[in-house]
Structure 1
Amino acid sequence: MVEETIGALETRAFEAYGRKRVDPPVMRFGVGVSDHCRNGLVTDDYWTALERHRKDWAALGLSFDPFETCRAALGADWPGGIRVGTRGGRSMGAGVAREPNQGFQVHFDDALREFSGDLLDATLVSQFAFNAYLSVPSAGGETVIWRHLWHPEDEAFRIPGSYGYDEAVVGDAEFVELAPEVGEAVLINPRCFHAVRPSRGARRIALGFAVGLSLTGELLTWG
């Protein structure tokens, strides 16, 4: 899976997340719903962008669907099943390929806080983040996760206009630093503050999607 997917992606141009919100820039191939959130709502242009995203992925000419492969592996031993989540009866994006060579700032991800009401046509009781690594740098690029969930007072550390926070927000909280190898995948609790360090050397490219646990015990994914 890795060789065919990264071989196809390396021939394509990646786009940046919205640069007013995401700085330093993070490149991606595909569409993330976070770029289409206004006042807690998913904007209509998400669906237009998602249609283009699906055509771009189909144009890679892969012999398989890498996101489906990842979902199958993740849900193989999960009794509740796994599928791409829906919103208003329409399937969300399956995931994106992200390239944060300059790193991700300290932040957390929580659909219950980002979006008004339920993001999906289901109530989520927990959220995870899945990443499968296709290319990693020779140095740097580590994912750092702190044992610190968001509290209202943390907003004093938010970088104005940004998704990120000053690293002082985590204080002296315990942390773990992960440096995955090509072909490995990780599943983390993204509600804990986390960051990605800048890379040195090869491109850092990973397939990623969010995973929500629904009230019915089903795993639902979205990009």
Structure 2
Amino acid sequence: MSTIQNQQLENVASTATPVYTLFESVVTETLDRDILARIGAGTLGAARVPGFFTTEQCDAVTKGLDTCDMGSYDEQLVQPRIAKLGPATYDYYGNVELPPAYWEHTEQSDASRSGLLHGGDPLDEAIRKLEKVWGGRVARATSKGRPMFAGMIREINAGAKMHFDEVVREFPGVVDDTPVCQIAFNCHLSMPSSGGESLVFRRAWKPSDEQHRDGYGYAESIVADEPYARVEAAQGDAIFFDPRNYHLVRPNTSEGRRVTLSFFIGITSSGELSIWS
């Protein structure tokens, strides 16, 4: 059963022809294919699935992270620092293709993450659940025939600037099977008691936004009048949204770590799901 949060269905037309914002967020105990399709189609702002991972699973993964060597995004560009396990395609957006360093990092990170869930891989658990929801196989996206990295673990305690993620626009041609839409997946392995919420705005990037660039992000003034979905997640909750829309993370306002298992989901032209980070 789904519960609608934020904006309700409301006709916002200025003429006799109805038009609806369609950017509410939902909380649902049972994720289904229709919810993912609505996010991909742009008619649902965000979905939160409580208990996607159990508390025990989350604690096991975060405890295992203590034995992992966490890296970070380029600290000359991304401040405050965001710690992460695994490479991001974002790290190589200035390249023509993914370099050898990406593939080496992929192999190392897969090995580090593979035993974090009682000797198993938390990514496999997430994939299993998504396959059940979608009714089909979920595979890693490929680049020049090679499976890309998926399943980054990130720690964002001081917030993340407003930005967008769109692999086909920011790194054209890197994915072999071009996705027709892109969905962000974040399962919250650890959360502070307050702060750390996500905001997703009904506003995609456009070229004129570059004059409002702020490092890796953009000034929040450009979305001042836009509808948005606000999602407050608890430990174990998964959230889904379209990252081609501007989005941000607010800083923690209490003790605690904000740690997520994160990747992107692409719906391909054949209706299959592919994932990458």
Same fold (TM over 0.5): yes
Alignment of 1:1-223 (within 5 A): 1-39=57-95, 41-58=97-114, 60=116, 62-117=118-173, 119-159=174-214, 162-200=215-253, 201-223=255-277
1:73 partner SS: helix
2:263 partner SS: strand
Runs of 5+ unmatched residues, structure 2 = 1-56
Measured in 2, the distance between the counterparts of 1:38 and 1:171 equals 30
TM score, norm. by length of structure 2: 0.75
The structure number with the bigger radius of gyration is 2
Determine the structure 1 residue equivalent to 2:23. none
Contact 1:146–1:170 at 8 Å: present in 2 too?
Answer: yes
Contact 2:252–2:258 at 8 Å: present in 1 too?
Answer: yes
1:28 partner SS: strand
Contact 1:41–1:116 at 8 Å: present in 2 too?
Answer: no
- Stretch moving more, 26-35 or 72-81: 72-81
1:38 partner SS: coil
Percent identical: 35
Contact 2:162–2:248 at 8 Å: present in 1 too?
Answer: yes
- Stretch moving more, 134-143 or 162-171: 162-171
Contact 1:19–1:25 at 8 Å: present in 2 too?
Answer: yes
Taking structure 1 as reference, are residues 61 and 214 closer, same or farther at Cα in structure 2, changes over 3 Å only? closer
Deviations along 1:16-64, one digit per CA (max 9) or x if unpaired, are: 2111221111111222221123245323321121122123224647432
Q: CA RMSD in A?
A: 1.7
- Stretch moving more, 120-129 or 9-18: 9-18
Deviations along 1:114-153, one digit per CA (max 9) or x if unpaired, are: 1122x22212100000010110012110101111111121
Report 1 or 2 for greater relative contact order, CA contacts < 8 Å, sequence distance ≥ 6: 1
Contact 1:40–1:114 at 8 Å: present in 2 too?
Answer: no
TM score, norm. by length of structure 1: 0.92
1:64 partner SS: coil
Greater strand share, structure number: 1
